[in-house]
Amino acid sequence: MFVATQSGTTLLINLAGAIALLLWGSHMISTALQRGFGTQLRHWMGRHLSNRWMALLSGIGITGILQSSTAVSLMATSFTAAGTLSLSPALAVMLGANIGSTLVVQLMSFNTAIAIPLLMLGGFVVFKMRDHSSFESAGCAMIGLGLMLLALSLLGTTLEHIESTPVFHAVMQGLQGDTLIALMVAIILTLICHSSVAVILLIASLATTGVMNQETALVLVLGANIGGALPPVFSAGTPVARRLPIGNLLVRVLGSLVALLLLPLLADFARSLALTTPQLVVWFHTAFSMVLALVFIGLISPLAHVLETLFPEEERVGDPGLPMYLDEAGLDVAYLGLSNAVRESLRVADMLTIMLDRLFVLFQHLEQGVADEIRQVDQSLDLLSAAVRAYLADLGQDGLSDSDADRAQEILMFVINFEHAGDILSSNLTQLATRRSRRGELFNEFELNNIRLLHWEVLTSLRLAVTAFLGEDLSAAHQLVARKESIRQLEASASREHFKKLREDKNAWAESGDIFQRVLRDYRRVHHHIAAIAYPVIERLGNDEMLISENRPEV
């Protein structure tokens, strides 16, 4: 009795270990490819989703590479939440992603015993080949694929021993006796595992034992499809972000309901094809996703309209310095987290623009409410900047690729420099503007004209800085640096002319002249922080351009 119990315990431990290895291999592949190539794939998606069919094919291809429809869902959700991708093509991407995940199952269903040691060895060699994040990511992905194949081999061996136990037969008979229970078991198991691929492969392995009829196998596949759509729904933080994952869930639920109604006909059709139960699991999973794609590809526009009506964009209330896009789900996927941080950084730039606009109003005539508004916006800017910095510090716990690490540094420098520029506007220039006005003195026409010139130049540089940062534009970065000399010349010219006027006008207040000189200096300091945005872009993209030039063959 003790031996039998010990044997059953050992089998359960072996089964749990094999499932854990399968999930870990899948996690290795997904995270390694996202870390090494996720940013490039994200940029490619952003440029090539012009129509629904291209979006469908993109979803298939990228899911086939990342081996995770959940990762593609998060990627597409970030586009739709940012407004850079409309909901209709995003739904088409998810239809393709569901097909792409079935390609992984098809690949794993073949006899790949010889591939296990080859993938392990090849992955290790590639990982050690060169100290570069792309090679390291590719090597980790190959090792992860080898681990998945090894886990499937262990699963098959363990299940061969488990199938003879009475408990296993009782559980399988319970599943076959109740469609709803079988469906819920598959949904919950997939939700726990966060991988429909792993659960489908597990179902196929269970089917090899011969204790599962084809109807039960089909129900379990449908449950895995529904469960695979649930994790992105739970991770979505805003109504806009929920539209895409809930749309994908609705498609799978509707498809599953129709399939359950037609289950007897589907089982009869499967028997006529003379497929084994494991083969039926794999091919039904593929056919289900392909049929859904063909049916719903023409319905994505009305579906998108319904989702936009059900989940309208919420009106934001409270402090504008509170972050809107720093979703915790993005912390696990580097390119999503960087995208979220960039969006918040643009809000920082908008706040600085508001401060500059209100500041010039203050120079023209004293309004205490305007000065208070500038200080309030500066407090919001500081709060949002701190949130972005904290978010970047938590980003990429599994490591960042070289390009993602460089981009994170650029975002950090962007918010820090804009925060310093905001402090100068709020603490120095606002104080100088109000100080002179309180004494009943207004800036004269000469002073206002020179302040206006500097003000416009700073605003122009601010727009260039955003262009260089957002579009990673090397030309805009070089223009921004070149403008520093123009600002210096404007300041020097205005300062010389002002001293000349002071010498000619003996009645001029010395303190008034000092205030104007300090205004000129502080505007230049603001421009210095804005121009600093260009240097990380030039350092990264300029070096890449130099390498390309050096490696270009001579004609």
Q: Tokens representing 277?
A: 């139960």
Do 449 and 530 lie in one domain? The reply is yes
Q: Could you tell me the two tokens for 356?
A: 């500059």
Whether residue 207 is found in the same domain as residue 343: no
On whether both 388 and 302 belong to a single domain, the answer is: no
Does one domain contain both 391 and 476?
yes
> Do 343 and 295 sit in the same domain of this protein?
no
This prediction's pTM: 0.59
Say if residue 347 is in the same domain as residue 281: no
CA angle 415, 420, 422 (to 5 degrees): 90
Q: Are 324 and 344 in contact (CB under 8 A)?
A: yes
On whether both 403 and 477 belong to a single domain, the answer is yes
- Quick check: is 486 in a domain? yes
Domain of residue 209 covers 6-308
Instruction: Please answer whether residues 457 and 487 qualify as being in contact, where contact means their C-beta atoms are separated by less than 8 angstroms.
Output: yes
Residue at a domain's end among 308, 334, 365: 308
Q: Are residues 294 and 248 in the same domain?
A: yes
Please tell me the total count of domains within the chain.
2
Residue 12 in domain: yes
How far apart are alpha carbons 341 and 335 in whole angstroms? 10
The distance in angstroms from the start CA to the end CA of the chain is 83
Q: Which one of 256, 280, 308 terminates a domain?
A: 308
Cα–Cα distance for residue pair 442/440, rounded to 1 Å: 7
Give CA 513 to chain center in angstroms.
52
Residue with tokens 């130049």: 457
Residues 351 and 274 in one domain: no
Q: What is the reported pLDDT for 352? A: 92
Residue 472 covered by a domain: yes
Q: What is the widest separation between alpha-carbon atoms in the chain?
A: 111
Boundary of a domain, candidates 282, 308, 334: 308
318 occurs within a structural domain: no
Structural domain includes residue 285: yes
- Considering the domain architecture, whether residues 469 and 342 belong to the same structural domain is answered as yes
Q: For residue 315, is it within any domain?
A: no
CATH number at residue 373: 1.20.58.220
Residue entry with tokens 């540089």: 461
In a domain, 162, yes or no: yes
Place of tokens 């300090």: 518
In 3D space, the residue among 151, 114, 143 whose CA is nearest the CA of residue 33 turns out to be: 143
The pLDDT value recorded for residue 253 is 93
Distance between CA atoms of residues 68 and 290, nearest Å: 17
Question: What is the rounded CA–CA span in Å between residue 257 and residue 404?
Answer: 42
Q: Based on the fold, state whether residues 302 and 410 are members of the same structural domain.
A: no
Helical H segments across 424-531, by residue range: 430-438, 445-470, 474-504, 510-531
Taking only the tens of pLDDT, the chain with its 555 residues reads 333 444 667 777 887 887 788 778 777 776 776 666 666 666 666 555 667 788 888 778 777 766 667 667 766 776 676 555 678 888 888 888 888 878 767 766 665 667 778 888 888 888 877 666 677 778 887 888 788 778 767 766 776 676 666 666 666 666 676 788 888 888 887 777 666 777 787 788 777 767 677 888 888 889 888 988 887 787 776 777 788 889 999 999 999 999 989 888 887 887 787 777 778 888 888 889 899 999 998 888 899 889 888 888 765 555 677 887 777 766 766 777 888 888 889 889 999 999 988 888 888 876 667 888 888 999 899 989 988 888 888 876 556 777 778 888 889 999 999 999 999 998 888 888 887 666 666 777 888 888 889 889 999 999 999 888 887 788 888 999 998 888 888 888 888 887 787 776 655 554 455 788 888 899 999 999 999 999 988 887 765 443 333 333 332
The answer on 493 and 371 residing in a single domain is yes
Provide the residue type at 379 as one letter.
Q
Secondary structure element (H or E) that encloses residue 393, with its range? helix 368-394
Q: How far is CA 39 from the centre of its chain?
A: 9
- Rounded to whole angstroms, how far apart are CA atoms 251 and 297? 11
Q: Is residue 133 part of a domain?
A: yes
